[in-house]
Amino acid sequence: MAKSERKFTAAPHGARRERKRKFMPIFIQGKQKRVPRPATIDGFPVEEFLARNPDPIRLYENGLWEMMPMGDDD
């Protein structure tokens, strides 16, 4: 009689889900490697998110002067 396959419990499923969330596969010289995913906010890269949603306080705290909106004080 053949041995049945072992069922996965919640722990291995959770670990696999976490690995898929943190890393992404890429190919380097024909071999597949796992590299950390780039940081995102709401699905956008951090720089693009900050450019789309300029918050003067956040830009000031992080020293992003070139992205600071310049308002006319007329």
40 in a structural domain? yes
Element (H, E) at 18: helix 10-22
Domain containing residue 54: 35-67
Any idea how long the chain is? 74
CA pair distance 49, 23, nearest whole angstrom: 21
17 in a structural domain? no
10 in a structural domain? no
47 in a structural domain? yes
46 in a structural domain? yes
Verdict on whether the full-model pTM lies above 0.85: no
| Domain tally, the chain | 1
Averages of pLDDT over runs of 10 residues in the chain (74 residues) are 78 88 95 94 86 82 79 57
62 in a structural domain? yes
pLDDT of residue 13: 86
CA pair distance 25, 22, nearest whole angstrom: 10
